[in-house]
Chains A and B, each alone.
Chain A
Amino acid sequence: MSRLTAEGLTLAYDQRTIAEHLSVAIPDHSFTVIVGPNACGKSTLLRALSRMLKPAAGAVLLDGQAISSLPAKQVARTLGLLPQSSVAPDGITVADLVARGRYPHQGLLRQWSAEDERIVQESMAATGVAGLADRYVDELSGGQRQRVWIAMALAQQTPLFLLDEPTTYLDIQHQIEVLDLCATLHEEQGRTLVAVLHDLNQAARYATHLIAMKDGEVIAEGAPSDIVTADLVGRVFGIECRIIDDPESGTPLVVPAARRPREAAAAASATAAATAGP
């Protein structure tokens, strides 16, 4: 079953078409990760799924209805998004920022219910930022800040949660911290997560469902252990590699082929030039 699907999408910025006839279905309760080389359209697809980008053709369906036709706040109660870049307002505290995640549940007369308060507390606890509640967001580290943004999206209480490159600009320690947090949210709270990641090995380790894209097309999708092969990595990323079992998790681990020594490469290209010559 899939609550979130895309059918026959054509995605374009101005005149530049990124993808055509793109269809995907996000399996419910999965941790889906979209991978692919730069400019393959993975972030564009995520933007379309999260209604940040209006498709030129086709439709994104949420529970069978076109997402663009649904009231904005109603969508925001079902589908959350961690954008690639957000701006923390000047002088805002962690608790106040996380509280903003409650916006789609609030109204002019219902601005701060007891439930809002409880869920904000829970979201901060789940992301490990409860101790930072009174700190100013702009004095936190990059990893802490990202967890605060995730806490804000959690406070939105959406069964579907989309993350656009949540680990970019973070060092390895914070990358793992954020991905572990995502895995916990997926396992313990049963939320459906969709993330765009750059690192193929991290994707293979954390994803339950992998979507590999290239040039605006889905090349393969499925469980990482089923679809990650040397052939697929070659086709999608254009690199030679070996796939071994990750000694930690048993998931596929991509080991790129070592660079050939300079002389060998030069000899190879010389031979190639000679055979291709007139």
Chain B
Amino acid sequence: MHARVKPDGSGTPGRPGESTAAGPRSGAPAGRRTRVVRTAGGLSLRLDLRAVLSGALLLAVAVAATVALIGSGDYPMTPSEVLTTLTGGGTTGQEFIVHELRLPRVLVGLLVGAAFGIAGAAFQAVSRNPLGSPDMLGLSQGASVGALVVIVWFHGEPRTVAAGAVVGGVITGLAIFLLAWKRGVHGYRFVLVGIGTAAMLYAVVLYLLTKSTLYDAARATLWMTGSLSGRDWSQVGPLAAVCAVLVPVALLCARPLRMLEMGDDAAAALGVRTERVRITVLLVAVVLVAAGTAAAGPISFVALTAPQLARRLTRAPGPNLLPAALMGAALLVGADWAAQRLFGADQLPVGVLTGVLGGGYLLWLLVAERKAGRV
């Protein structure tokens, strides 16, 4: 196949204060720097350079954090040792430490981060609200109720707790969906129903905690904080399978989801089946969040912050699903590394750190929105 690559788009004489890249316009309609790839077979793609670069950057950060995380612990390893071991050239001891102890933990972190990031972006796009993420709208709380029921009432083992979290998350997702449904899902209604559900489910969580023994309560609290410590291959497998199926489905919905930003009428006029897209995307997001929460607990704020940070990095309109997934993965693994390293001997569960980061993010969002005159 004959491929032709043509640079296109150039100047961005956009907002005052932004640097304007000079260059002749080559008949390109895009104000952003884009690159068009067309082949004789009729394939044509338009890539936004900034979005591609942002994605590459996030990927690099995630890989770096992965290597750093694998290298840290009671038996520290240099990055080159880590890479050598990953490619099969390490000593037996290194092999064991990397493959059995540390790699599964990092993989769970990457997958959960990506799942939360993409689910957060999907929820925010459907609710048309930067605060409309799964951890704000009751999904995390629902998964917590499911997990706590198993811990407190049945004293179940970790695998049953995970199953309980999946069931709790999915049931909550469907319930919010049905309650918010009125001739379709509408952003505002969806957010209000979600926030109400979150509050009620949190009350159930507190009730379960009061009814638990001290030992179960400690277990439950640790689970709810969210942690990656002690994760092994048995968590990686199911999570990887869920992501392998659902992430592509979500990405296939990215184009119509982007159209929905303009309002239902405008999207429908362009041939988007608005309700079908929304339902698909929400179902995918609910299952991704439930699976991620089952593996690592309801790690707070990743789903809320990753899509927004990704969006500010790419500066591209639209839900930015893929950048959000990469940002989530980089954020979670980076936070886990920081939680292990920054506080000396005191290793924190990653959820504590993301909670602090998320709170800071909310304050920053408030300031930024205020400057833009939206609050």
Contacts and interface: CB of A to CB of B under 8 A. Distances in A.
**A interacts with B:** yes
Interface of A: 50-52, 71-77, 80-81, 83-96, 98-101, 103-104, 106, 108-114, 116-117, 120-121, 124, 133-136, 139, 153, 156
A120 B262 CA distance: 18
A92 to B, nearest CB: 4
- Across chains A and B, which 6 residue pairs bring their CB atoms closest together, nearest first? A76-B271, A134-B31, A83-B265, A93-B31, A112-B46, A73-B271
Contact of A134 (B13, B266, B272): B13
B11 interface: yes
Contacts of B30: 93, 95-96, 99
A99 B29 contact: yes
B253 to A, nearest CB: 11
Given A86-B263, A100-B262, A121 B270 contact: no
A184 to B, nearest CB: 21
A91 B317 contact: yes
Nearest to A52: B265
A109 B273 CA distance: 19
Contacts of B27: 117, 121
A96 B31 contact: yes
Contacts of B262: 86-89, 100
A139 B372 CA distance: 13
Interface stretch (B36-44, B113-121, B146-154, B351-359): B36-44
Nearest to A114: B38
24 contacts: A71-B271, A73-B271, A77-B271, A81-B265, A83-B263, A84-B265, A87-B266, A89-B258, A89-B318, A94-B31, A96-B31, A99-B30, A100-B270, A103-B271, A103-B272, A110-B42, A111-B44, A111-B46, A112-B38, A113-B42, A117-B27, A117-B29, A121-B27, A133-B29
Which residue among B11, B44, B252, B255 has the maximum number of chain A CB atoms within 10 Å of its CB? B44
Contacts of A109: 42-45
A99 B28 CA distance: 11
Interface string B236-261: 00000000000000001001001101
B86 to A, nearest CB: 34
A187 to B, nearest CB: 23
Interface string B290-328: 000000000000000000000000011110000000000
Contacts of A101: 270
A236 B266 CA distance: 31
Contacts, number: 124
B12 A134 contact: yes
Nearest to B270: A103
A91 B314 CA distance: 11
A156 B315 contact: no
Given A91-B315, A100-B270, A135 B255 contact: no
Contact of B268 (A52, A77, A91, A114): A52
A83 B33 CA distance: 30
A91 B372 CA distance: 12
B32 interface: yes
A76 B269 contact: yes
B15 interface: yes
B230 interface: no
Greatest chain B CB density within 10 A among A50, A84, A111 is at A111
A105 to B, nearest CB: 9
B14 interface: yes
Interface of B: 11-15, 27-32, 36, 38, 42-46, 252, 255, 258-259, 261-263, 265-266, 268-273, 315-318
A163 B38 CA distance: 34
A103 B255 CA distance: 9
Given A100-B259, A109-B42, A89 B317 contact: yes
Nearest to B372: A90
A93 B269 contact: no
B318 A110 contact: no
A36 to B, nearest CB: 21
B317 A96 contact: yes
A52 B266 CA distance: 10
Contacts of A77: 271
A124 B44 contact: no
Given A52-B265, A87-B262, A112-B44, A135 B272 contact: no
Given A87-B262, A87-B263, A112-B44, A95 B269 contact: no
Nearest to A98: B29
Nearest to A149: B266
Contact of B252 (A108, A112, A113): A108
Contacts of A95: 28-31
B269 A80 contact: yes
A126 B252 CA distance: 33
Nearest to A120: B29
B15 A139 contact: yes
A90 B317 contact: yes
A74 B271 CA distance: 7
Contacts of A156: 269-270
From A91, A113, A124, name the one whose CB has the most chain B CB atoms within 10 angstroms: A91
Contacts of A134: 11-14, 31
Given A76-B271, A83-B269, A135 B43 contact: no
A71 B271 CA distance: 8
Given A86-B265, A111-B44, A117-B29, 19 more contacts: A52-B268, A72-B272, A72-B273, A80-B269, A83-B265, A83-B269, A87-B266, A89-B258, A89-B318, A91-B317, A101-B270, A109-B43, A109-B45, A117-B27, A124-B29, A133-B29, A134-B31, A135-B14, A153-B269
